[in-house]
Chains A and B, each alone.
Chain A
């Protein structure tokens, strides 16, 4: 059974550019969440989607956005990149009824902003 797939694994972008990260959840999982991980702030919640609807959003500026498609795949977008956006971005998915934190995480996308 395939796990949560995040693409790309690594990304280098320049300040001011925008970036789109992709997440394919486990088949049958309809909830997708995104987290940002940095050495200083740790793991911080970005947003969560269920059946194409954003159910919750973390405390991040509007430059961070996301969406979910009808096949449950999700993308997150960061516009006008800043150096501080350099982080590991993790996606997690869960089945209906197992959303109480029973998440499966992907390996993440390592974003470096230069």
Chain B
């Protein structure tokens, strides 16, 4: 069965610092991978997605993620964090066929210090 692990429950960074959020997945076939962001009390917003091709994908709000098949990882990065990036971030893997769904990691809460 597919699974997603986000090792960091909570990360604190200073505004302007770089950011990397880790995500490891387990899936038997070629994965379709996603990063979503959730602000308090809100739904999920899609940041970026990887289906195939270039392993470095660009998303909204200046985020990017790199797919590394050998490490089963899909880490999210941003070169300079803004205070408005404070939110919870979720990595997810899609499974199709008879098990059509997204499987999410537990999330990483990002705090940004001024």
Contact = CB atoms under 8 A, between A and B. Distances in A.
Contacts, number: 56
Contacts of B93: 101
A104 B102 CA distance: 12
A105 B90 CA distance: 13
Contacts of B45: 105
Interface SS of A by simple majority: strand
Chain A interface residue count: which class?
Answer: 20 to 34
Nearest to B33: A101
B3 to A, nearest CB: 12
Interface residues of B, number: 26
Nearest to A50: B100
B32 A42 contact: no
Given A42-B106, A42-B107, A43-B90, A102 B46 contact: yes
A42 B32 CA distance: 20
B37 to A, nearest CB: 11
Interface in A53-70: 55-56, 58
Contacts of A56: 98-101
A34 to B, nearest CB: 10
Interface of B: 32, 34, 36, 41-46, 49, 51, 90, 92-94, 96, 98-107
13 contacts: A4-B43, A35-B104, A42-B105, A43-B104, A45-B103, A48-B100, A90-B43, A92-B44, A101-B92, A103-B46, A105-B44, A105-B45, A108-B42
Interface of A: 4, 33, 35, 42-43, 45, 48, 55-56, 58, 90, 92, 99-108, 110
